[in-house]
Amino acid sequence: MPAPHAQASAAELQRHLATLTGHEHARVRPYGKHLLIQMHRDDDAIDTVARLTEVASHKYTAAFRSHTGRWEPLPGHAADLKRAAELVATLLAPYLEP
């Protein structure tokens, strides 16, 4: 079971993404020190699009999953959840469409 801090961070990130994208298809799941951003599609498919990794207290870096399955870092510095969500929503907007 994820730590309560991770659950709260995942819920906060999910709220930010819903506000930024205008929909609630993006879900966030804590996984160790990562927050996985997943898109839930109409055909019940789940695509893991990006992840945030906590690198310091309340500071996250972002990465996206390439077509090869590798995690590639997104440009930018470690940021709080709101700024990290803005980065992901801007750079990965096509992948976050329902």
Domain boundaries along the sequence of the chain = 4-96
Q: What confidence tens digit (pLDDT) does each residue in 27-67 have?
A: 999 999 999 999 987 778 888 999 999 999 999 999 999 88
Strands (E), 9-97: 26-31, 34-40, 46-56, 59-65, 71-73
Please tell me whether the overall predicted TM-score, pTM, comes out greater than 0.85 for this model: yes
Helices (H), 1-98: 4-21, 81-91
Q: What confidence tens digit (pLDDT) does each residue in 24-33 have?
A: 989 999 999 9
The structure tokens listed for 13 are 């990130």
How many Cβ atoms sit within 10 Å of the Cβ of residue 37? 28
